[in-house]
């Protein structure tokens, strides 16, 4: 069975080039997520992992293609890899800009955090084989797509409470994560495909992601003098409590451990179109 056989026939992975004036918003509305510093800094912390994270994903996809052999790749998957790389490169740039705004706002250590992941990324490319890195990348892509699914189906408040243009940036990124959610999974399946490595990749990627978010969120709150007992409890509740982010994400993340799982078992694209009025291109629309 070809690796792309479960891909929706009308799927078009579309790299878009929106621009967002985050500096203007954040200057006048520092706690842009419903005036809540804890949730605002959760998003500031999460997004700060993206620029280097997404470059890691791009490296992994390129190295997986080389290991598989370009000539052995299904032409559709080869095209999807190119579109995936273009999307992630644009995401990385948008999140670099977000980080720059944070640095200018008085969070200078965000630069060091970024440099640390960059060092790890360079090390990993030299020392860790393509199979392992694509397994972690496929898992990380499942996490970002699951985050998108979670905000659509369980926690639309996470979007609705974000002020513009962060709201639009989050929706744009979420839609593109959905569009390319299976690319690295299909590469992993073709390169290795073992259940053991797939599951191990998820455990590593999940723990690493949470650790990075936590250390950045704590720094941002400390820098504002808001690392108080009340906010520590709030952070634990919002992230780990009942109905919190991890609990809401967990059922989607756990689907990854089903032996026959594929990212296109579900399709979230219509919700972006119907609820948020976003343009989702499909192959027939592109051909028309």
Q: Which is nearer to Fe ion, 42 or 185 (CB)?
A: 185
Binding to Fe ion by CB under 5 A, coded x per residue (else -) over 175-194, reads --x-----------------
The tokens for 142 are: 């499942």
91 binds Fe ion, rule: CB under 5 A: yes
Q: How many CA atoms lie within 13 A of 112 on its CB side?
A: 6
Give the separation between CA 224 and CA 219, rounded to whole angstroms.
9
Closest by CA to 97, choosing from 158, 164, 161, 22, is: 22
Query: Least separation, in Å, of the C-beta of 85 and Fe ion?
Result: 10
Q: How far is the CB of 229 from Fe ion (least distance, A)?
A: 35
Cβ-closest position to Fe ion: 91
- How many Cα neighbours within 13 Å face the side chain of 154? 16
Taking the complex as a whole, how short is the minimal distance between the CB of residue 87 and Fe ion, in angstroms? 6
18 versus 108: smaller Cβ distance to Fe ion? 18
Binding segment for Fe ion (CB under 5 A), chosen from 80-88, 149-157, 214-222, 225-233, is: 80-88
CB count within 10 Å of CB 102 equals 23
Span of 13-21, 60-68, 140-148, 234-242 interacting with Fe ion by CB under 5 A: 140-148
88 vs 114, beta carbon nearer Fe ion: 88
Among the listed residues 161, 167, 183, the one whose alpha carbon sits nearest the alpha carbon of residue 262:
183
Applying the rule CB under 5 A, the residues between 149 and 178 that interact with Fe ion are: 177
**What is the rounded CA–CA span in Å between residue 43 and residue 39?**
6
Q: At what angle do helices 37-48 and 195-223 cross, to 10 degrees?
A: 130
What is the token pair recorded at 45? 């912390």
- With CB under 5 A as the contact rule, which of the stretches 4-12, 83-91, 99-107, 221-229 interacts with Fe ion? 83-91
- Six-digit token pair at 185? 């999974």
The nearest distance, CB 90 to Fe ion, in angstroms, is: 8
Q: Judging by beta carbons within 10 Å of its beta carbon (0-12, 13-18, 19+), is residue 75 exposed, middle or buried?
A: exposed
| Count, residues near Fe ion per rule CB under 5 A | 4
- Least separation in angstroms between residue 78's CB and Fe ion is 18
Instruction: Give min distance, CB of 139 to Fe ion, in A.
Output: 11
Least Å distance, CB 175 to Fe ion, is 10
Question: Which residue has 């080389």 as its token pair?
Answer: 66
CA geometry: angle at 151 spanning 150 and 155, to 5°?
95
Q: Give the binding range for Fe ion (CB under 5 A) out of 133-141, 192-200, 234-242, 246-254.
A: 133-141
Site residues (vs Fe ion, CB under 5 A): 88, 91, 141, 177
């Amino acid at each position: 069975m070809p690796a792309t056989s479960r891909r929706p026939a009308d799927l078009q992975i579309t790299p878009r080039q929106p621009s967002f004036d985050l500096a203007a918003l954040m200057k006048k509305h520092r706690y842009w997520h419903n005036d809540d510093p804890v949730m605002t800094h959760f998003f500031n912390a999460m997004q700060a992992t993206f620029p280097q994270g997404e470059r890691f994903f791009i490296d992994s996809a390129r190295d997986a293609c080389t290991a598989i052999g370009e000539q052995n790749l299904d032409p559709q998957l080869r095209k999807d890899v190119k579109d995936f790389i273009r999307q992630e490169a644009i995401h990385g740039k948008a999140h670099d800009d977000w980080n720059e705004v944070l640095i200018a706002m008085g969070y200078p250590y965000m630069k060091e955090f970024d440099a640390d992941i960059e060092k790890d990324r360079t090390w990993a490319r030299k020392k860790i084989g393509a199979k392992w890195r694509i397994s972690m990348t496929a898992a990380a892509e499942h996490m970002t797509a699951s985050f998108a699914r979670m905000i659509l189906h369980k926690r639309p408040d996470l979007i609705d409470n974000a002020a513009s243009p962060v709201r639009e940036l989050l929706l744009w990124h979420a839609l593109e994560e959905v569009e390319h959610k299976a690319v690295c999974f299909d590469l992993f399946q073709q390169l290795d495909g073992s259940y053991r490595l797939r599951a191990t990749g998820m455990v590593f990627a999940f723990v690493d992601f949470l650790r990075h978010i936590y250390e950045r969120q704590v720094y941002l709150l400390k820098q504002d003098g808001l690392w108080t007992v009340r906010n520590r409890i709030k952070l634990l509740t919002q992230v780990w409590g009942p109905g919190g982010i991890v609990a809401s994400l967990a059922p989607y993340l756990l689907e990854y451990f089903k032996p026959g799982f594929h990212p296109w078992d579900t399709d979230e694209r219509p919700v972006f179109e119907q609820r948020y009025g976003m343009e989702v291109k499909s192959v027939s629309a592109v051909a028309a």
